[in-house]
Chain A
Amino acid sequence: MKEEQIHENEQAAAPVTSRATVLLGVTGTVDSAIVQPCLQEIGPVLNARVIVAAPNLAEATENDVHFRSYPLTAGRPENLPWVNASFAQRAICSLAAEVQADVCVLLHGDLILLNADVLPLFIQPVLEKRCDVVLPVYAAGKFDGLLNHGILAPLARALFGQRVRYPLPLDFSCSAEMCAKFTAPHPAHDPNADEILWPATIAAVAGKQVCQVNVDASHGRQTDGIELRTALASLVGSAFIEMEKYASFWQRIRGSRATPVTGHAVKQASESDGIDVKPLIDSFLLGARNLQEIWGPVLPPVTLFELKRLSRAPLEEFRMPDELWVRILYDFALAHRLRSISRSHLLGALTPLYLGWVASYVQEAANLSPFAAEQRLEQLARAYEENKPYLLRRWRWPDRFNP
C-alpha cells in the first residue's frame, strides 16, 4: 500500500474564515432531535451555515441549523437499498445546488457517521478545496464486503486509475461542482433504468481530486433479505453499465494512483474459525456442471479449460488464480456489452463463479492477519491492473482476439 497518509494534525486545520454553507443530506428518514446534539458539537469547528435535509423533515430553524425536506419521488420500496440510496443522493445533490451549498455531505439513514470526530474530516477537505469528493473507508473484517473487495473496488481502480476502497459508498461528501455533475444526466442515460450513483467514477472521469477518510464504523449488512444473485446482478450489472458508458475514458488510463487518506485505519477482527467453504465450492461445482451452455459463449476456451481443471481440484487445494478470476470478470463485462446472451442470464451465471472465488479467498485468508489479508486483496487489485491490456484487446477486437 502506497497510499498517501495525511497526518491528523494537518487536517485539524483552522476553521474557514468565510461562512460557508454545508448541506447534510440524510438518505433515509430521520428525527431532528437526534441530529441536534451532534450539530451543536461540530458547529463551532465548522463555522458554517448548516442545513440538514431528510425526506420527512419539517422545515424549521433551530439553533442556527436549518431543517429542510427534499422530495423523494423516484425511489420505490421494492427497489434494492443502494438503488434507493442513489435516488436519495441525487435528490440531495439537487437540493444542494438549489441552496447553493459549498459542501454537500450525504449520510446513510443509520447516521453512523454523524459524530463530531468524523464529520469535519468529510467537510474540511472540500471547504479547503483540497478534495472534490471525500469517500469513506469503513472498518471491515477480512470477510466483510467481499463483493466490493473482489469485484467493484479493484475493477473501478483498474478502469479509472484511482485507488478507492469503496467506490459505491453509502456516505460521502462533495463540492458544489461535483453535486452538479452527479445530477446531470449522461447522454447514454436510460431514464427508465434504476441507475446507481458511482461518485468515484464520475469524479475520476471529470478529473477531480478524490480523497478518503478512515472511519471506525461500518454499516450493517445491506444484503440482508436479498438473494446474493440479485445483489450481484444489480451491483455488477451497474458497474458494467458504467464501464460501457465511460469506455472512451478508461481505455486511455494506464495503472492507478493513490488517493490521499486521512484518519487512522481501523480493522475489525473477524471470526475466521468455522467457515465451511464446502457449500461455496459445491455451488461452484454445480455451476460448472450445468452452466457450460451459458459460460460457453462468454468465456474463451482457455478459461473454460481452467475452470474444468479447478472443478476437479480437491477441496483443500481449491484456489482460483487471480488472473483467472480477473479474466472471467473482464469476459463477462465484454459479454454484457456485446449482449452475447441475455444480461439477466449473464449476471445470474456469474454467481457460482463468484462463490468459487469467495471459497478460494476464504481458504487463503483464513490464517492471515487482517493486514496480510489486505495485502492479498491489494495483490488481486494489481492483477486487475496487469490484465487490463487483455480487456482492452477483447473490448476493441472482440471477434479477432479470443484466446
Chain B
Amino acid sequence: MWQQVEQSLHDSMWRVFNKVAQLLPGILAFLVALLIFLLIAWVAAVITRRILNAVAFDKRTMPTTNALSELAPRQTPTVLATRVVFWVFVIIGVLVGVSAFEAASAESGISAYVFAYLPHVIGAAVLLFLGTVIGRFLSRSVLITAVNLNLQYARLLATGVRWLIYVLTAAMVLDHLSIGGDIVPLAFGILFGGIVLALALAVGLGSRDLVSRSLEREAARPSEPPVEEKIHHF
C-alpha cells in the first residue's frame, strides 16, 4: 500500500513538472515579448518627449490645459502624452506576449480572455488615476478653505473628503474589474449610507444643544465692528 501511495505521489509530481516544462517556453516567450516592447516603449517615449519639447507642446496647449495643471501640477501635457505612448506600447507588449504564451504552451482561450478583459483593466486604471488626483485635489481644497474659514477641524474634514473619494474610487474600480460581484456596490452603499446617517444623527441629536447655543451666541453678539473693518487690505 505504501508503494502505491509513493507511486501516485511520484506520478503526480512528474505530471506537475511535465506541465511546468510545457509552460516554460510560453512564459519565456511572454517575458521576451514584454521586454522587447518595454524597450520599444521607452524609446518611443523618449522620442515623443523630445518632439513635443521641440515644438513647445506645453506652451501651445497652455490655454486648454489650465484645468489639468490645476488638478495635477506636475502632469504637464508633454508628460501625459509621453506616458500614454509608453503604456500603449507596454499593453501591446502584454497582448503580444499572451499570444506568444498561448502559441508556445498550446493553452487555448487565454488570449481571447485577456483581450476581452483588457478594456476593463484600462478603464479601471483611468478611474484609479482620476480618483487619486481628484481625491488629493479636493482634500487640499477643503483643507485650505476650512483653514481660511478658521475651522478648527479643517484637517479632519479634509481627511474625510479624501477617504470618501478614495473609497468611492475603489468601489468603482472593483466594480469595473468585475471583482466581488454585487458585494462591492452593496458594501459601499451600506458604508456610505451608514456614514451619512451617523453624521445626520450626530448633528441632529448629539449636537442639537451645541447648535442652538452657537446660534444664541451669534444673535446676542454686540454690533461692535470686527477687527477686519479696522484694517483695510486693499
Contact = CB atoms under 8 A, between A and B. Distances in A.
Given A192-B63, A342-B73, A342-B140, A229 B148 contact: yes
A358 B143 CA distance: 22
B73 A235 contact: no
B234 A290 contact: no
Contacts of B141: 344-345, 348
B143 A291 contact: yes
Interface residues of B, number: 29
B218 to A, nearest CB: 16
Nearest to A338: B73
A231 B233 contact: yes
A277 B227 CA distance: 8
B227 A280 contact: yes
Given A191-B63, A286-B147, A349-B144, A342 B71 contact: yes
B143 A290 contact: yes
B184 interface: no
A294 B233 contact: no
A286 B66 CA distance: 30
Interface string A331-367: 0000000011111110011011000001000100000
B147 A291 contact: yes
A269 B152 CA distance: 36
Interface residues of A, number: 48
Contacts of B6: none
B70 interface: yes
A3 interface: no
Given A191-B63, A294-B140, A342-B137, A352 B148 contact: yes
Contact of B231 (A190, A283, A358): A358
Given A146-B232, A147-B233, A223-B233, A279 B227 contact: yes
A148 B137 CA distance: 30
A275 interface: yes
A239 B205 CA distance: 49
B118 to A, nearest CB: 33
Main SS of the interface on chain A?
helix
Interface in B120-153: 137, 140-141, 143-148, 150, 152
Most chain A Cβ neighbours within 10 Å, of B70, B144, B146, B233: B233
Given A190-B62, A342-B140, A276 B227 contact: yes
Contacts of B60: none
B154 interface: yes
Interface of B: 62-63, 66, 69-71, 73-74, 137, 140-141, 143-148, 150, 152, 154-155, 226-228, 230-234
26 contacts: A143-B230, A143-B232, A191-B63, A192-B66, A221-B234, A223-B232, A223-B234, A231-B234, A275-B227, A275-B231, A276-B227, A279-B150, A279-B227, A282-B150, A283-B147, A283-B148, A283-B150, A286-B147, A287-B147, A291-B144, A293-B140, A342-B70, A345-B141, A348-B144, A348-B145, A351-B147
Top 5 nearest A-B pairs by Cβ distance? A348-B144, A339-B73, A147-B233, A144-B232, A147-B234
Given A293-B143, A352-B148, 5 more contacts: A145-B234, A275-B230, A279-B226, A291-B147, A343-B73
